[in-house]
Amino acid sequence: MAFILATISIISSIFFATMLEFKPGILCWIQIVLMLTLLICTGLLNKYESKWTTRVSLVVSVMGTSVSIYHLLKQKLNETAVPSQCIIGKSVCSEEYINLFGFISIPALALLSFLLITFLLIPQREN
């Protein structure tokens, strides 16, 4: 199931970037790289079921969750509250391309994916 979530997340990010022409910022790229790593690790986990791939997947998922929380705070709070240099070309990390129901943005969707994957991987860690 974690593999399917990672696959859907990557397909969504490709759709946002190519079809809707959203320009990802540096934090978006970090989240994409972490999700790609999760896609590979969970794919290996499905094939080999080793403790090593479970641990790596869990660590990468927690890292992605952390980056997503930071990105969401940066987007929702003002620029001075969460300082960083976050510009690639004309894309700024505080820019909201989508805003569903007033709080669901792309970083919120990434956070949801990383959290779900983390919770799906925790029981596998104990096996």
CB 68 within 8 A of CB 61: no
Among 7, 2, 1, 12, CA closest to 105: 12
What's the Rg (C-alpha) of the chain?
15
Residue 71 CA to residue 75 CA, distance in Å, equals 6
- Which tokens hold the place of 113? 């994916």
Residues paired with residue 92 on neighbouring β-strands, in sequence order: 87
pLDDT at residue 80, as a whole number? 56
Residues paired with residue 88 on neighbouring β-strands, in sequence order: 91
- pLDDT means over runs of 10, the chain (127 residues): 90 85 81 92 81 86 92 74 52 61 79 92 73
pLDDT at residue 115, as a whole number? 94
CA 58 to chain centre: 13
Residue 50 CA to residue 33 CA, distance in Å, equals 22
pLDDT at residue 93, as a whole number? 58
- Which tokens hold the place of 51? 């403790």
Residue 120 CA to residue 7 CA, distance in Å, equals 15
